Amino acid sequence: MTDILDRDNHLVLSRTTDLGKAYEVGYPKQQGYSAASLADELAHGPTTPPGYQALFWEPGGAGYTSPGAENIGIVNGYVSHDRGVIYSYRINFYNSKGWHFKFIDESGDVYSITTIRNGWHYIDYNSDKPIICGVS
C-alpha cells in the first residue's frame, strides 16, 4: 500500500525515479480525490466497462485515448467543464471513421451519437461522475 499524505488542498504521494531521486505527485481534493478512492484507482487503474475501448477523459485535464479507441475511429478527444446553465460538461471528439459511438462515464451513463461525417463533434451532458472511461 502506498502512503497517501493528506495536505490542505491535495493528496500527495512520495515517489522515487529510476535513478533514485525523490519526487512527489499531487492530486487536488477539489477534483474529488479522496484517500480511499485514490488508493483504489492506483491499485486497479482506470476501469473500462466490458465491450468498450478504454478512454480516460477527465474534465479540464489531459486525457488518455487507447489504441482500441483509435482503431474504431476516435482520433482525439477531451472533456471540457463549465459549459453553461443547462449542461456542465462537454465531450469533444474527432472521429476518422465509424459513425455511431457510445461514450460511457464513470457512473455508467451512456451517451450515444451518430456522426454523418468525420471530424469534430460534441455531446453536452451532466453527471456526478463525469470522467469518460470508454467508447464503443
Question: pLDDT per residue over 59-105, tens digit each?
Answer: 988 789 999 999 999 999 999 997 778 999 999 999 999 889 999 99
- 3 state SS of 5: strand
Classify 51 as helix, strand or coil: coil
At residue 1, the pLDDT reads 45
Q: Which grid coordinates are listed for 121?
A: 463533434
pTM of the model: 0.68
DSSP-assigned beta bridge partners for residue 112: 102
Say whether pLDDT at 5 is over 90: no
> What cell does 98 get?
465509424
Please provide residue 49's backbone torsions phi and psi, each rounded to the nearest 5 degrees: -60, 150
Please write the tens of the pLDDT for every residue from 116-130. 899 999 999 999 999
- Nearest residue to 106 via CA among 52, 70, 62: 52
pLDDT band at 47 (very low <50, low <70, confident <90, very high): low
| Distance of alpha carbon 115 from alpha carbon 63, whole angstroms | 22
Cα 74–Cα 91–Cα 132 angle in degrees, nearest 5 = 80
